[in-house]
Structure 1
Amino acid sequence: MNYRKTLLAASIITGLCVSGVLYAQDSAQATDSSSRTSQTEKAKAKELATVVVTGIRGAVEKSLDIKRDATANLEVVTAEDVGKLPAHNVADTLQRLPGVNISSSSADEGGFDEADRVSLRGTSPSLTQTLIDGHSVGTADWFVLSQGGTMGRSVSYTLLPSELVSRVEIHKSSEARLADGGTTGNVNIITRKPLDFEKQFTTSLSLGAVHSSLPDSNDPQLSGLFNYKNTDGTFGVMVQVFKQKRHLRREAQEIPGGFATIAPDSALAQSNPDLAGVKVPGLLGATLFEQTRDRKGGLVEVQFKPSDTLTLGASGFRSDMDANNYNRNFMLWGGNFATSQAPDPGYTVQNGVLTHATYAGVPGTNYVVYDMIYREASSKTSYYTLDADWLVSDSVSAKFQAGTTKGVGETPRQFIAEVTAANGGGAGWTTHGNGSPVDWNVGGDITPAGVTSFGTWGNQQVKAIDKENWGTADFTQYFNAGVLSSFNYGLRYAKHKREAQSPEGASPGDIWSTLQNGATANYPGGFAEGIGGNFPRDLWYFTPDALKNAIVNNSTWLSNNDGPTGRHNYGAEYSVDEKNLAAYFQANFEGENWSGNVGLRYVNIDQDIATYFADTVSPDVSSLFGAWDRKHVNNKIHRVLPSANLKFNMSENLVFRFAASQTQTLPDYSALGASSWGSDLNKTGGGGNPLLKPVLSTNFDAGLEWYFMPRGLVSATAYSMNMKDYVAYGTQTQMLFSELTHQLEAYQVAMPINADAQVTGVELAYEQPIGKYFGFTTNYTYADGSTDHTWADGSNHLLGTSKNTYNVGAYFENDTFGARVSYTARSAFLIGLSGANPYYQDKFGTLAVSLSYKATDWLSFSLDGLNLNNPTYKYYQSSVIPTSFYENGRQYYLNAHLSF
C-alpha cells in the first residue's frame, strides 16, 4: 500500500511540475452550483443551463460541449427534450457510452430484457456509484434473493424512469469534491429545475403503449410534466408524474446449481470405474417466468430566490413498482438418480462430463421435480432534499443540503409448490457444450395425475430496507488574478443503514388436498423456440390463483413468530450501519491553454454489522428454521484519498487529459453481513464476512480528444486501476441447518474474501456528422481484468470484466423526421457463483431503433424498438457445462408527445 501511495504522489508531483499548476472545471450545472472558477465560466454555465435542446443533433452537440469543457474525464448524455432520452431506460442509454457496461440482474435471477445495473471499465456494478443531483438514492430490488441473499451497493435502474432526466454525467476520473464510494467512478443523474425553463408555463404530456412480443401484451405508458415560474424568475415549481406498466415473459432452459459429481467411492463408481469423478446435470429445467411490472410515482421540485444571491430549493421523489411474478421450472432430477443409477450402455464421457446417457426406469424413483413459485413482490425508492445556494460575496459561494432517502424491496408472500413425478419412467440427455441447450427427456406420467409427492417451502416474508440521512456544506473561494482560479472545501456527513428482514412466515397445513384439484393451464405454444434444443415443452402448471388460494387457505400465519416453534428466520437477517464523515479541499487552476485541479478527501467511516451464526449448543435465538448466536462487529475506517486532473489544450480542437487518484468502495452489504445459507438440492450455499476491508483503488487515466467539427469527435483514453482488498469469493465446508432433514449437514459455502485485483484498458470513440442531417457514432472499450484470487475453476477472472465492448450507431434528423439505430455488444464475463462454482454470461448484443415524427410545434410521435434481434442470453460454468439460456422477446414503444 505504501508503494502505491508513493507512486501516486510521485505522479501527481510530476504532473504539477510539467504543468506548473492545475485547474478545475466540471460540467455546466456542477460548475454553476459548487465549483465555479471564473466569471466567464459562470456566464457560460448559465447560458448552457438555459439551452432548450429539441433534437438529436442538438443533444449530441450539447453533450460534446459539456465533455470538452470539463477538466475531469467526463461522459455526458443529454435528453433531446422532456422524456426523450435515447432509450426508455436510463441504463440502456448509458451502455452506448465508451467504458460503460450494463447487466439486467443483481443476483441469480438471470437475463431479462431491461437493463438494471450500470458498471464502468470492466468491473462489477457495486464499484460504480449512482447519484441523483449529486446525492445518494436509497434502492432495493423486487427479486427475493436480491432482497435478502445478495445486497450490493449498486442502484436498481428499473425504478428510475427516463422522463426524469435532463442529462446524465459519468465521472470516470475522481475529484476531491465528489462524494466518495465509487471505485471506478460515479453516475450522476441530473433532473430539471423549475427556474431553468424558458417559459412561465410549461406543460408536456406523453401518452402511449408498449407492446411486448413474447407475452403478446399491450400496456399503457403515461407521463406528464407541469412547470411554473413567475415573471421575475424568483419562484418556480415543477411537478412530474409517471405511471408505466409492462408485462414480461421469459422462456428458458435453466440448470440450477450446475452439475453434480459422481463420488469416486460410490457404488456407481465401483461398478463403472470410468464414471468416478464424472459430472452429471443435477437439474435440467424447462423454465417459464412471467411478471407484471407496474411503476408509478413522481418528482416535485420547488425553487425560491429571495434575493439575487440566494436560491432555496426543495425536492421530493418517489417511485413504486409492483412486480408480482410466477416462475415455473419443470426439471429432470439428475441429482436424484444420476449419481447412483448406472446409465444404459452406450453412454459417452468427454472432458469429465457425462455428455450422453439414457436411464431405464426404476420403480420408486422419481425422475422429475417441478417447482412452481408465485411471489407477490415490490420495490420502491424515495428521497427528499432541502438545499440553499448562496453567493456570500463576489469571491465566495456556499451550498448547503440536507436530505433523506429510503429504498424498500419486499416479498410479503411466497406461494410455492414442489412436486415430484415420472415415477419409474426413466430419463436421458445429450449435452452440446456451453453454446446450446441440453437435449433431454423423461418417461412416465408427467401430468398432474402423475404427481407422486408434494412439498412447499419459503412461505416466508422477506424485506430489504436501505436508508440514508445526510447533510453537506460546500464552499468555493474565487480568485480574479493568477493561475489559482478557485478552491473548493467542504464537509459531508451521512448515516446509512441497510438491513434484511425475515420476521414472519406460515406453517403449512394440508395444502395438497386442495391444490391437486385446482385449476391448471399450459405452457404457451412455441415455448422456448428461440433458444433451440429438444426438451419437454408441452407442460402444465397450477394457475397462480389456484396455487395462492390453496396455500393461503391451508396455512397458519402466526401472530408470534419468535421462539423455537415460530417462523422468524433469523438466519436470513442482518444489518449494516455506517456513519460516514468526509472533509475535502480542492485547488483549481487555470492557464492560457490548460486547466486542472488537485485535492485531498478525508473519509472516516464507523461501521456496525449485526448478523447471526448457526449454533445448536447454546444459541441466543431459535425458531423452526434453526438456532443462532447473535454476532456484532464494529469496523473503523479512515483514509485520505488524493486526486489530480490535468487538461491541456494542445491546439484549438485537440485536448490532452491526465488524471491520477485513489478511490474507495466499501464491500457489498451482503458480503459483510449475510448469515450462512444453504440449498438443500445441491448442498451449496453462501454467507458473509464482517471482517472484509474496503476496496482501495489507485487509478491513472491519460487521453487525447480531437473535436474536429461540431458534433465530431475522435478520442482515445488509456486507464489502469490497481485494487487492493478487492472482494472475491472462496469456499469452505460449514455445518448448516437443513429444512429437509431438520438437522445440521455439511454444505460447501461461498464466503467473500479480500484479494488484490487489476484492470487496464483502452477506450476509443469516433463521432462524425455527415452533411446536415446524418451522423454516426462508434466506440470500443478493451478491459483486461484479473485478481490474485484463484476461483474453483482455476481462473483469476474479475467479476464483470468483458474484455471487449463496442457500440455502433447512426442517426438522421431533419425538421420533421428523426431516426436513430444502435447496436451494443459485450464479450463474456464472470457473473458470480452458482453454488460454489463460478459461472459466466456469454457474449451478447442488442439492437435498438428509434423513429420520430414532428407533426406540429406542440405534437410529435415516437416509435422505439428494443431488443429487436431478440438475443438469447447464455450462461455457463465452462466450455462443456452450460448454466442457462434465456429468450425475452422484443419490445415496441409508441408514444404521442404533447408540449405547450
Structure 2
Amino acid sequence: MNCKQSILSAAIVASLGFAAQLHAQEVATAPADAATDLDTIVVTGIRGSIEKSLDVKREAKSHVEVITAEDIGKMPDKNVADSLQRLPGVTISSAGATEGGFDENDRVSMRGTNPSLTLTQINGHPVSSGDWFVLNQSDNAGRSVSYTLLPSSLVSQVLVHKTSQAKLNEGGVTGTVDIITRKPTEFAETFTASGSVGAVYATLPGETDPQINALLNFRNEASTFGVLVQAFSEDRTLRRDGVEVLGYDQIAPGSASPLAGVWYPRAIGAALFEQKRERRGGLVEVQFKPTDNLSFDLSGFVSKLDASNYNRNYLLYNPRILGAGQLPLPGYVVRNNTLVSAEFAPTPGVNTGLYDMISRPDESASTTYVAFEADWKASDKLNLDFKLGTSTGHGETPTQDVAEWTVGQGTGASYALNGIDRAPSFNLNDSTATPPANLALDWIFGLQNLDIEDKDTWGQIDAQYFIESGVFESLDFGVRVANHDRESANVVAQGPNWGASPFDPATFPQGYSNYPGDYASGLGGNFPRDIWYFTAEQMAAWNAVQANRDPVVRRYPFYDFSLEEKTQAAYVQANLSGDRWSGNVGVRLVKTRTEVLQYVPGGTTTTPGAIQGSAFGIFSPFTIKNDYTDVLPSANFRFELSDTLVARVAATRTMGRPDYSALAGGLNLSPPADENDVGGGNSSNPNLKPIYSNNYDAALEWYYAPRSLLSASVFYMDMSSYVSQGASNQQFLTFDAAHPDGYLGNYLVTSPINAPASAKGIELSWEQPLGEHFGFNTNYTYTDAEEDDGDPVVGASRNTFNLVGYFENEHFNARVAYNYRSHFYSGLDRRSAFNQDDTQSVSASVGWTFNDMVSVSLDGMNLSNEKLKYYADNKDQPRGIYNNGRQYYLNLRFKF
C-alpha cells in the first residue's frame, strides 16, 4: 500500500475513534438508510417531491443527493439527465465525446470529471449501454451510460452517491447514480393504470412527433404479489445546423515558408445533420412474497433507439492548398500563431474543396437487462439478499452510405475565422445551389457491419447482521462475482467498386435537393447556405452498386477486438450509531482479471488465428492479459449538531476501470525496421491501470424549515492514475522476412497513459419555499481539476450554477429553470483539442390538474435558443458552432 493509501486509512481509523468518543447511548433499532423504504410512500406534486427528497437526503448516513418523481410516471423533466443537472456537483452534456452536442442531454458526470468516472446503475445493478453514433461505438467508447435510452416515466427516484461505501459496487471513481424504478407492491391501489399521450415539436426541423407511455400495475390485497408492466414509444425529429472546423495543422517549423510554425484550419465545413429517433421498449417486474421471511423480485427491461441520420458537410479543404505548399495572397492575417484569414488564387489542378455526404439509415443503440433478487430473513438478526442478472447493450452501424465529392476544382478559395461567437466565413468560388459541371468523386469510405456488443453478468450475496452492541448497530458483508465482455467483430471498411465505374460521372445520381431555406440562420458568418445534395435514398441506391462491401476483401481487422473483465469482490461494513451521530466504516476487496484481444498487421498464411484475404493485408491475433487486486477502504459519518443542523465527513478510496476504447480499439502501427529498432503508431493501451482516487468530503446541512435546506460541502479527489494521452512503450507481435513466425517488437505508441490528476471544489445549495405555493432552489459548484502537469481534466467545468423557481396549487403548476456551465475540455479530435465553450439553458413547464385522474402539461426546452460553441487551443481556433433549436412537449396524463 502506498503512502497516500496509508494516509487515507489513518484518517478512517482516526474518524472511527472520534465517533466512538462522541457516542453516549445506544439505539435499539437501525435508522433507515438512504436506500431503505424508498418505494413505500407515494408523493405527488412539486412540493411533495421536494419534501420526500430532502427527507431521504437528511437521514442518509452518507452524502447523497435525491430526486423523487412528482407522481406516477412524472419526473421533474422529460429527460433524467436534465433533472440530474439541477443537483449541486452534477453536470451533463449532450454529446458522448467530440461529435458536438445535440438537443437532448445524454451524459452525466460528477464534480468536474469525465462521465466515464461516474457509475450509473438501475436498482443497484449494472446496465450495459450502447451508443448510436459511429465514432462513440469505436474510437471514443467510454463507460458512461447513454441516458437517451431511459424514459423518465419509468423512474421513481434517483439517488446520487457523492461518497462511497464498502457495500456499493466499485466503478464510480467520483460517485454513483442509482436510478430506482417503481415496484409492483408499492402502489396504494390493488389495480393502477396510468399513462400519457403527447407530442413533441422541434422548431428547427418543424416536425411534430408522437410520444406514448403506459403503465399497468396489479397487487393483491395483502401486497404479497404484484405485477408491473410499462411500455413506451417515443419519436423525435432532430436537425442540427452548424459550421465545423475539422482540426488544425501546422506548417513545419523551420521550413522556408514565411508561415513556418503557424497553425491553420484543416477543413471548414457547412454541416447539416438530420435525424429521426424512435425509442421503443418497456419494463416488466414481478414481486412475490410467499412467507413473511422470503420475497422474490424478477424484472426485465428493453430499450431500442433507432437513430437513422444523414450528415452533409460542404468543406474548404486546406491540406490540398496550404498543405501542398500554396501560399495565401497578400493581406492574410495571423493571430495567436493561427492563420485566421487567407485568400488563395485560382490554380489549375488545385482542388480546394470536398463535400462529404454520409447517410446512416439503420444506426441504433439498445439496452436490455434481466435481474432476479431474493430476500430472505434467515433469523431475527440475519438478513440475506441474493442477486443474479445479465445486461446487454449494442451500438450498431450496419451501413454507411457515403460519398466524398471533389468540389472547387481550380477555383481558389478564401476564409476568415471569426472567433467562436460567429461562424467562420469561407468561399470556394464554385457553384453550390446546383452540382458543378465538373463534379468528381474523390472517394468512398465508411465502416460497415459495426456492432459493438457490451455484456454484463453478475451474481452476489449481501448479508446484514444486527449486532446492537455499543456503537455497533449492524454488520453488512457480502461477495460478488461479475463478468464484463465487449466485442467488435467482422468490421468492413468499404471502398470504391472499381468494376462498377464509380468515378464515371455518368453513374452519379440524377437530380438533387437543397439545404433548408433557413439553414444556419443566426449563426453569423458568410459561407455557402443554399447547398445542393443527393437524398439519403439516392445515396443508398448509388452505394449499393458503387461501393465495395465484400466481407472478406474489405474486412478491416483494425476494428476487430474483444475485452473480457472478470471481477471478484468481497466487503465488510460496520454500521455505527450513537447519541446524535451515525456512520459506517468498511473495506471492499476487488480482484480484476482482464484479457484484451487485438489484431496486428503481419503474419503468414500459417500463423494461427490469422485473418487472411483482406485487401489491408494479413492480421494476426495478439492477446494481452493483466490482473490486479485493490483494497478500497471507506468511512462516512453523520453528526446531528442540533435538531436542524447535520454535518458529514467522509474519507474513501475508489477505483474505476479505463474507457473501453482506451483498453481496446482501433490500432495503427508502423513496424520497426528490424528487431533492434523501435516502431511507432497510434493505439489503445491494454496495460492501463485502473483509475484510483483518494477522496475526502465534508458537508454542513441546515434544515431550517419544512422543504428548506441551506448546505455547503467541500471535496478533494486525488487521482493517482487518471487516464490521459501520451506516448508509451508497448510490444506487439511483429512479422518480417527475418521473422516469419513473428517476434515481440518494441513500439513507441501514442496512446492513453496513466497520469496523476486531482479535483477539488465547493458546492453550495439553497432550497427555499416562499409561502404555501411558491418556492425556488439554487446551487453553485466550483471545481478546480487538472492533471499534475497542468493539462485539463476531461469534462471539468470550473463553475456551474442552477436556479429553479416554481409555483403550485391544487390545479396549476409552473416551473422555470436556468442552468449555466462554464467551458470544459472534451478531449482530442483530429490531433486538435476540443473544448466546449460556456453553455446556458432556460427551460420551463406549466401544467393543469383537472382532477386526480387527468392532467396536462407543456414543457419547453432551450427556450433561449442557445448555440453550442467549441474551440481548440484558444478562441481564435474555433472548432464548431451549432444550432439545435427549441423543443416543446405537450402531454395528457391519466391514471385510475
Per the normalisation by structure 2, the TM-score is 0.92
Equivalent of residue 571 in structure 1, options 555, 558, 564: 558
Deviates more, 1:453-462 or 1:51-60: 453-462
Q: Would you say the 8 A contact 2:484–2:564 is kept in 1?
A: yes
* Whole-angstrom CA distance in 1 between matches of 2:447 and 2:14: 62
Instruction: Name the residue aligned to 1:489.
Output: 477
1:429 to 409, 415, 427: 415
Equivalent in the alignment of 1:88:
78
1:551 corresponds, among 537, 543, 564, to 543
Cα shift at 1:287: 0.3
Q: Who is 1:316 aligned against?
A: 300
Cα 1:421/1:132, change in 2 over 3 Å = same
Task: Name the counterpart of 2:376.
Answer: 390
The alignment status of 1:464 with 2:452, answered yes or no, reads: yes
Counterpart for residue 291 of structure 2: 307
Query: What corresponds to 1:408 in structure 2?
Result: 394
- Taking the aligned partners of 1:515 and 1:646, their CA distance within structure 2 comes to 72
Report the counterpart of residue 354 of structure 2 in structure 1: 369
Which stretch of structure 1 is more off in the superposition, 450-459 or 511-520? Answer: 511-520
Name the CA distance, whole Å, in 1 between partners of 2:729 and 2:459: 44
Matched, 1:858 2:847: no
Q: CA RMSD in A?
A: 2.3
Q: Greater shift after overlay, 411-420 or 626-635? A: 626-635
| CA deviation vs aligned residue, 1:26-62 (integer Å, no higher than 9, x gap) | xxxxxxxxxxx96463699877632221100000010
> Which residue of structure 1 aligns with residue 742 of structure 2?
none
User: What residue is the counterpart of 1:30 in the other structure?
Assistant: none
Superposed counterparts of 1:592-631, under 5 Å = 592-615=579-602, 620-622=610-612, 623-631=614-622
Matched, 1:150 2:140: yes
Q: Say if 2:683 is the partner of 1:687.
A: yes
SS in 1 for 2:12: helix
CA contact (8 A) 1:425 1:443 kept: yes
Residue 12 (structure 1) aligns with:
12
One of 797, 802, 824 as aligned partner of 1:802: 797
Tell me if structure 2 keeps the 8 A contact 1:514–1:550.
no
Map of 2:787 onto structure 1: 787
Q: Partners in 1 of 2:832 and 2:748 — Cα distance?
A: 10
Are 1:379 and 2:371 matched, yes or no?
no
Among 649, 653, 664, which residue is 1:662 paired with?
A: 653
Within-5 A mapping of 1:256-271: 256=246, 258-264=247-253, 270=256
Shift of the 460–663 alpha-carbon distance from structure 1 to 2, 3 Å rule, reads: same
Residue of 332, 335, 340 corresponding to 1:350: 335
Give per-residue Cα distances to partners, 1:851-874, cap 9 Å, x unaligned: 110012200001000111111111
After superposition, residues 441-460 of structure 1 pair within 5 angstroms as: 441-446=427-432, 447-448=434-435, 449-458=437-446, 460=448
Conserved 8 A contact 1:22-1:597: no
For 1:642, the aligned partner's letter is: P
Amino acid at match of 2:561: Y
- Any conservation in 2 of the 1:605–1:638 contact (CA below 8 Å)? yes
Q: Is the 8 A contact 2:491 2:559 kept in 1?
A: no
Q: Name the count of aligned residue pairs.
A: 857
Deviations 1:345-381 (A, max 9, x none): 2222222112221111111211110000001201100
Confirm or deny: 8 A CA contact 2:69 2:76 kept in the other structure: yes
* 3-state SS in 1 of match to 2:595: strand
Given that 1:171 and 1:187 are in contact with CA atoms closer than 8 Å, whether structure 2 keeps it comes out as yes
Question: How far does the alpha carbon of each residue in 1:743-789 deviate from its partner, in whole angstroms, 9 at most, with x for none?
Answer: xxxx9974101100110101100010000000000001111011124
- Once residues 274 and 775 of structure 2 are traced to their aligned partners in structure 1, the CA distance between those partners, rounded to angstroms, is 39
Does the 8 A contact of 2:509 with 2:534 survive in 1?
no
| 1:283 alignment partner in structure 2 | 267
* 1:633 equivalent in structure 2: 624
Residue 65 of structure 1 corresponds to 55
Distance change >3 Å, CA 478–CA 365, structure 1 → 2: same
Supply the distance in 1 between the matched residues of 2:6 and 2:34 (Cα, whole angstroms). 38
Do the aligned residues in 1 keep the contact of 2:20 with 2:471 (CA within 8 Å)? no
Report if the CA contact (8 A) 2:34-2:59 is conserved. no
Distance 1:757 1:506, change over 3 A: closer
Q: How far does residue 264 in structure 1 lie from its aligned partner after superposition?
A: 4.4
Q: Aligned equivalents of 1:418 and 1:436: distance in 2?
A: 27
Alpha-carbon separation, structure 2, partners of 1:586 and 1:336: 63
Alignment partners' CA distance in 2, 1:41 and 1:875: 48
CA distance in 1, matches of 2:506, 2:369: 45
Give the structure 1 partner of residue 877 of structure 2: 881
Tell me whether 286-295 or 509-518 shows the greater mean CA deviation. Answer: 509-518
Which AA in structure 2 matches 1:837? S
Report deviation, 1:440: 1.2
Indicate if the aligned counterparts of 2:248 and 2:832 stay in contact, CA closer than 8 A: no
Give the whole-Å Cα distance in 1 for the aligned partners of 2:218 and 2:394. 32
Displacement, 1:592?
1.9
Q: In the alignment, is residue 712 of structure 1 matched against residue 708 of structure 2?
A: yes
Partner SS, residue 697 of structure 1: strand
Q: Supply the AA of the counterpart residue of 2:835.
A: Y
1:898 aligns with 2:894: yes
Could you tell me which amino acid in structure 1 is paired with residue 764 of structure 2? L
Paired AA for residue 688 in structure 2:
L
Distance 1:803 1:776, change over 3 A: same
**Structure 1 residues 293 and 694 mapped into 2: Cα distance closer, same or farther (>3 Å)?**
same
For residues 792-814 of structure 1, give each alpha carbon's deviation from its aligned partner in whole angstroms, at most 9, with x where no partner exists. xxx51111110101101101000
1:517 to 509, 512, 519: 509
What amino acid is the match of 2:696?
F
Distance 1:254 1:616, change over 3 A: farther
Residue 532 (structure 1) aligned with residue 520 (structure 2): no
2:699 matched residue in structure 1:
703
Contact 2:98/2:834 (<8 A) preserved: no
| Alpha-carbon distance in structure 1 between the residues aligned to 2:700 and 2:838 | 29
- SS at 1:18 equivalent: helix
Question: Aligned residues: percent identity?
Answer: 46
1:373 counterpart letter in structure 2: I
- 1:407-427 residue CA offsets vs partner (Å, 9 max, x unmatched): 011011110010011211111
Q: Which amino acid aligns with 2:641?
A: M
- Provide Cα deviations, 1:429-483, integer angstroms capped at 9, x if missing partner: 1122344321111113343234133421115221110001110100001134532
C-alpha deviation, 1:577, in angstroms: 0.2
- Calculate the TM-score normalised by the size of structure 1: 0.92
Q: Is 2:227 the partner of 1:237?
A: yes
List per-residue Cα deviations over 1:479-509 (Å, max 9, x = no partner).
3453211010001110110122343465633
Please point out which of 559, 573, 588 is paired with 2:575.
588
Find 1:838's aligned residue among 833, 846, 851.
Answer: 833
In structure 1, runs of 5+ residues without a counterpart are 24-36, 737-746, 790-794
Query: 1:393: Cα distance to partner?
Result: 1.4
Give the letter for the 1:344 counterpart: L
Kindly indicate whether residue 159 of structure 2 is the aligned counterpart of residue 163 of structure 1.
Answer: no
Q: Which residue of 1 aligns with 2:210?
A: 220
Change (3 A) 1:720 1:147: same
Q: CA deviation at 1:82?
A: 1.9
Paired amino acid for 2:812: F
Given that 1:478 and 1:486 are in contact with CA atoms closer than 8 Å, whether structure 2 keeps it comes out as: yes
Instruction: Please give the secondary structure, in 2, of the residue aligned with 1:621.
Output: coil
Q: Work out the CA distance in 1 between the residues paired with 2:730 and 2:308.
A: 34
Q: Deviations over 1:809-843 (max 9, x none)?
A: 10100000001111111111110001223221111
Instruction: Assess if the C-alpha contact under 8 Å between 1:408 and 1:464 holds in 2.
Output: yes
In structure 2, list runs of 5 or more residues that go unmatched: 671-679, 733-746
Partner of 1:196: 186
Cα distance in 1 for partners of 2:31, 2:774 equals 31
Matching residue within 229, 236, 246 for 1:246: 236
